[in-house]
Amino acid sequence: MSDLYLSRIRNWFLSSPPAEWAINRLRSTLVGALAQGPIPGHVAFEMDGNRRYARSHKIETIEGHSLGFEALARVLEVCYRCGVKVVTVYAFSLENFHRPKYEVDGLMQLAKVKLEQIIQHGELLDRYGASVRVLGRLDLIPPDVLEVVERAMAATAHNTECVLNICFPYTSREEMTTAIRSTVEEYSTTPRPPSTTFSQSRITQKILSKQAVSPDMLESIRESPLPPSSDDHDQDDAVSTATTLHSSDSTTALKNGCDAGEEEANSADDSDDNKNTASPRIYPNPETITPETIERHMYTAGCPPLDIFVRTSGVERLSDFMLWQCHQNTHIFFLKCFWPEFDLWHFLPVLVEWQWRQKQKVRDSERARRRLKQE
């Protein structure tokens, strides 16, 4: 009973106008100080612990999820004020469909309400130029919720400074499966354009078509022997332009062209048959598939690499979230607080540690460079 009484006194004091003013000033000062250092380009949050928070505070489960959305709004403002460009949150897993129906329906309706609030009062996103992207199996979302999702994305599409990725409903394995399927479809249905080649007879015939040649001259050219080549001709050819032909070269070209014309005339029927036959389709080489090829088909295509991964509630696993996006330079933080409790005071140590690691990496690189110069 005493703990409850002290908690109410603390909440009353923190909600008083003087305390709120002092806390806001302190928050602004801290965020401004953080913005002076290196800033992560992409931060992901696995918002875990809403149900356990609700049970520990003797409130309904849906109320715990609602408080989780309020925590998200607080964290988004901190991230965008610091300069983070992309924030990705895990809002609903495909595995959550196995939960009780009333909870799933409640989560869907809660998402609908919060997205409608974004549409009606999107000052936070518009202030920082953030657009909303909903990633996942949108075909599994109820029609009434999907309609609000599409309106929310359209309402913020004009914002280009920052991005809020809401994974809903989503699993990383499903994302990778979709990306691989799209890559296979691209490489099996999009043939690359075949190279265009021209035969020597076609080139000769083109030259003949551009010159005024009489039938008698063609006959004399065909019957006359080819003139012997000489060094003088070779020297003349070397200094001639690409569009100038000597008389002997012209005669040779015309004669060859006439002979080629006869050969093409004899094979006219075969050419007509070949016209009706489609040329073989040349598909891209599968050996050219790289991680970047798969990346272009991921839900997060175009986003910067993931710098920070944060999961609350003390659980230390990724739970099928951002498995592809996590790389050798991703810093993963597992925090013990529940997500509805998460705010600047929990996120501040994460940012400070990440900035320290970045500065340490720069110092190590400079030391290695100096050692190489000394050697």
| Nearest residue to 327 via CA among 298, 362, 352, 287 | 298
Which two three-digit tokens encode residue 81? Answer: 């004020």
Please give the full DSSP string across 181-231, using - where no structure is assigned.
Answer: HHHHHHHHH-PPPPPP---HHHHHHHHHHTS---HHHHHHHHHSPPPPP-H
Which residues are tagged catalytic? 48, 96
C-alpha to C-alpha distance for 174 and 155, rounded to whole angstroms: 27
Which residue is associated with the tokens 């040649």? 213
In angstroms, what CA-CA distances link 223 with 63, 128, 218, 263, 307?
Answer: 100, 83, 9, 17, 79
Cα separation values, 243 from 226, 239, 240, 281, Å: 21, 12, 8, 36
Task: Give the Cα-Cα-Cα angle 306, 310, 313 (nearest 5 degrees).
Answer: 160
Cβ(258)–Cβ(211) below 8 Å: no
Helix ranges restricted to H, the chain: 2-14, 17-34, 50-56, 61-82, 101-120, 123-127, 143-155, 172-189, 200-209, 215-223, 231-239, 247-266, 268-275, 291-295, 344-374
Cα-Cα-Cα-Cα dihedral sign, residues 70, 75, 80, 81: positive
Q: What is the DSSP letter of 125?
A: H
Report CA dihedral (334, 337, 341, 344) to the nearest 10 degrees. -50
Sheet (strand 130-135) strand order: 130-135, 162-167, 86-90, 42-46, 308-311, 331-334
CA distance 215 to 304: 70
Longest dimension (CA), the chain: 120
